[in-house]
């Protein structure tokens, strides 16, 4: 325990040093989705699905240190997100949950900023408008009338339903939570396959709501198991169980976790698709972000399962986190402004391959926070 505590302390110190430098470099702007040659460049505007991971990291830095500088910096981003939802900028996505939970729901919880509350509720309204009534799913991407996108949802969306649960608790309107519950149940029944793997994406008939087919967008093949999607399943099904108490969602999280852990290479950091675990000599890249997401999911899941299984999940999470610190973090890479390297955004499209990425950084820092601050409460 002392060794991992010392290791975590060193990793936290290095992460905070990088965050401090990035605060000075980016100011009120946002880093890109991924690094280029291991360094983030500033993006021109608050667009895309990943920008909230930067204020999310600032809130984690505040939790780790109590330093009010981080709280003030995180709060300054509320205006940008309020402006984004107010002006309808780049809202055609289910990732409004990622975007507004970390940027505005957290600001509302911590500072009771009314602008943050209004923006988050407005984002929840937009997310609710993306529900396909016939199927009860939240459309993932694009214009609701786009025939290529109609009836499609993806496994990542399990992490976006917390915004809807929060909106019901905050507003007293049960519609948000009802939509989230039905959506999570559809993913449980159709994205989670009998062999405990997950589809990345799944289609329903937009007119009848009939389930049609599973596909992949960023995995190796339609029937393979995209590692980050499986990690979203661990964490996302666990979170939806927390909000609903539905034991079938907990069982889904356990199934995702057990398959993920059984398909890891020796150092515990997943390849970008778990199918490559079968090949001992593969040269396929790892996805450190999938590993970081899984650490948090496993630690959260451990609170809801029998003691022997909880011990297994906590030990597995600790092993993965140690490996991330030792071999994938920038503890010994002061030339990089990422926290975690060797991630994969989208290998089939050759985007962000073997680079750092914002969500990997965020979930790595969340994992460090969980370890360094026992009893810490997650923002989801």
Where in the sequence numbering do the catalytic residues fall?
95, 156
Contacts (Cβ under 8 Å, ≥6 apart) of 272: 220, 226, 227, 228, 284, 285, 286, 287, 290, 344, 347
Tokens of 149: 């996108």
> What is d(CA 164, CA 142) in angstroms, rounded to the nearest whole number?
19
CA separation (Å) from 92 to 52, 71, 79, 299, 331? 16, 29, 20, 32, 37
Q: Are 186 and 212 in contact (CB under 8 A)?
A: no
**C-alpha count within 13 angstroms, C-beta hemisphere, residue 289:** 25
Residue written as token pair 């289910």: 94
**Cβ-contact 330, 338 below 8 angstroms:** yes
Partner residues linked to 351 by β-bridges: 346
Residues 6+ apart with CB under 8 A from 365: 15, 57, 60, 61, 339
Return the sign of the alpha-carbon dihedral for residues 177, 173, 76, 32: positive
Strand partners, 357: 34
CA 151 – CA 204 distance, rounded (Å) = 5
């Amino acid at each position: 325990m002392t060794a991992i505590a010392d290791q975590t302390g060193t990793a936290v110190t290095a992460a905070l040093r990088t965050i401090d430098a990035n605060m000075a470099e980016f100011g009120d702007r946002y880093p890109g989705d991924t690094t280029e040659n291991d360094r983030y460049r500033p993006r021109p505007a608050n667009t895309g699905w990943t920008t909230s991971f930067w204020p999310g990291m600032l809130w984690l830095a505040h939790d780790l240190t109590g330093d009010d500088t981080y709280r003030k910096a995180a709060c300054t981003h509320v205006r940008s997100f309020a402006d984004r939802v107010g002006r309808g900028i780049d809202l055609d996505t289910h990732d409004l949950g990622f975007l507004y939970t970390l940027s505005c729901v957290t600001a509302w919880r911590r500072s009771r900023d009314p602008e943050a509350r209004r923006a988050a509720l407005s984002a929840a309204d937009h997310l609710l408008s993306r529900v396909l009534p016939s199927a009860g799913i939240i459309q993932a991407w694009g214009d609701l009338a786009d025939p290529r996108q109609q009836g499609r949802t993806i496994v990542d969306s399990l992490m976006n339903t917390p915004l809807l649960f929060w909106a019901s608790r905050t507003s007293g309107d049960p519609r948000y939570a009802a939509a989230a519950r039905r959506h999570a149940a559809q993913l449980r029944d159709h994205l989670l396959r009998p062999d405990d793997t997950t589809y990345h994406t799944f289609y329903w008939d937009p007119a009848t709501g009939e389930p049609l087919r599973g596909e992949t967008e960023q995995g190796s093949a339609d029937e393979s198991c995209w590692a980050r999607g499986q990690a979203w399943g661990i964490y996302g099904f666990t979170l939806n169980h927390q909000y609903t108490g539905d034991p079938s969602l907990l069982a889904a999280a356990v199934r995702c976790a057990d398959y993920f852990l059984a398909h890891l290479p020796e150092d515990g950091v997943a390849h970008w698709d778990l199918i490559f675990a079968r090949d001992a000599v593969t040269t396929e890249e790892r996805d450190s972000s999938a590993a970081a997401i899984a650490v948090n999911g496993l630690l959260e899941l451990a609170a809801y399962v029998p003691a022997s299984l909880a011990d297994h999940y906590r030990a597995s999470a600790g092993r993965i986190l140690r490996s991330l610190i030792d071999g994938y973090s920038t503890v010994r890479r002061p030339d990089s402004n990422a926290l975690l390297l060797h991630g994969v955004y989208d290998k089939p499209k050759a985007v962000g391959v073997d680079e750092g990425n914002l969500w990997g950084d965020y979930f790595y820092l969340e994992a460090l926070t969980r370890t360094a601050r026992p009893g810490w409460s997650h923002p989801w």
